[in-house]
Amino acid sequence: MDPLRLEGLAGRDLLSLADLSREEFAGLLDSAVTLKQNWKRGVRPPYLAQRTLAMIFEKPSLRTRTTFDIAMYQLGGHAVLLDQASIGLGVRETVRDVATNLSRWVDAIMARTHAHATLTQLAEHASVPVVNGLSDLLHPTQAVADYITLRERFGDLQGLELVYVGDGNNICNSHVNAAALAGVALTVACPPGYEPDAALLAAARARGACVEVVHDPREAARGADALYTDVWVSMGMEEESERRRRDFAGYTITPAWLEELSPRGVFMHDLPAHYGEECTEEAVYHERSVVFDQAENRLHAHKAILFQLLAAEAA
């Protein structure tokens, strides 16, 4: 058995980080770092030769679409792009029919959907692993890349102080789940009414997550080891743009905020950034920014996820 492989992940879905144990999450990070280091050293076995990934996109994508495709290529496999205009998920064909058909042809399905319920339906009816490439509730694959970046920067994650400033959206919810797995102290700073999902937060705290929710973003950011933000207006919420811009007044991260982090503090953003809203362009390109390290690590996170879920078939 290859030392990169983890017991218990092969053949499973990855819809939420809450599906993982602490040991599985740590092992997934280890696997990603090893695959990244091996690739840079020229060690490139075709672990997933002749394996195929179907990639379903109801929403636009740069990083997720590109890095999952390249991840399959670098592992020796192949990816097939299926956008909503082509397949009409839930419109031209039912989710069940799409899942059943794809299960006859491919080895795994990655889907970026509007509703999280669509992903759970895909997973219910597919006989191959289903990976959440983003839903309105969660974005677990991004959080894996984020934690690879944090581990590379800080080493030990236990007790790291991470502050998330902005909307309690899918990124925020995934960081709440990750906090329960990594022992990170997470503070979420948001306007009233924009807190992370209440049920998800309660469940994560029950699993040991140290998460505080506050409403003073500048004070929360002072002394943080990592300051994270995301867009105020997620895809599908465009009709709320004006109200959200008003509600998030004072939440725009500038280089001045970064000077108040801990001496080792870094700035994080999952991209795309809406400059002048949640942050400025100067913050993204600041010397303390690890934003493009996160983007690079999307590739290695996705390689590790695919490798682990398809390991049994590839063995």
The answer to whether 89 touches 112, Cβ cutoff 8 Å, is no
- Nearest alpha carbon to residue 222 among 178, 263, 181: 263
Q: How far apart are CA 111 and CA 12, in angstroms?
A: 15
The CATH homologous superfamily for domain 17-138+298-314 is: Aspartate/ornithine carbamoyltransferase (3.40.50.1370)
Question: Residue 291 region, left (φ>0) first, then alpha (ψ -120 to 50), else beta?
Answer: alpha
Say what the pLDDT of residue 90 is.
82
Say what the pLDDT of residue 263 is.
97
Say what the pLDDT of residue 2 is.
61
Instruction: Enter the pTM of the model.
Output: 0.95
Asked if 17-138+298-314 and 140-295 have one fold, the answer is yes
Ordered mean pLDDT values, 10 residues apiece, the chain (315 residues): 76 97 96 96 94 95 97 97 87 92 97 96 98 98 98 94 98 97 97 98 97 98 98 79 93 98 98 97 98 98 97 56
Query: At what angle are helices 95-103 and 116-125 packed, to 10 degrees?
Result: 40
Say what the pLDDT of residue 44 is.
93
- State phi, psi for 198 to the nearest 5 degrees: -65, -45
The CATH homologous superfamily for domain 140-295 is: Aspartate/ornithine carbamoyltransferase (3.40.50.1370)
Tokens of 56: 């379903």
Burial of 261 (0-12, 13-18, 19+ CB in 10 A): buried
Say what the pLDDT of residue 1 is.
41
Q: Where are the domains of the chain?
A: 17-138+298-314, 140-295
Cβ within 8 Å of residue 186, ≥6 positions away: 162, 163, 164, 175, 176, 179, 209, 210, 211, 212
Say what the pLDDT of residue 225 is.
98
The neighbour count for residue 1, using CB atoms within 10 Å, is 7
The answer to whether 133 touches 125, Cβ cutoff 8 Å, is no
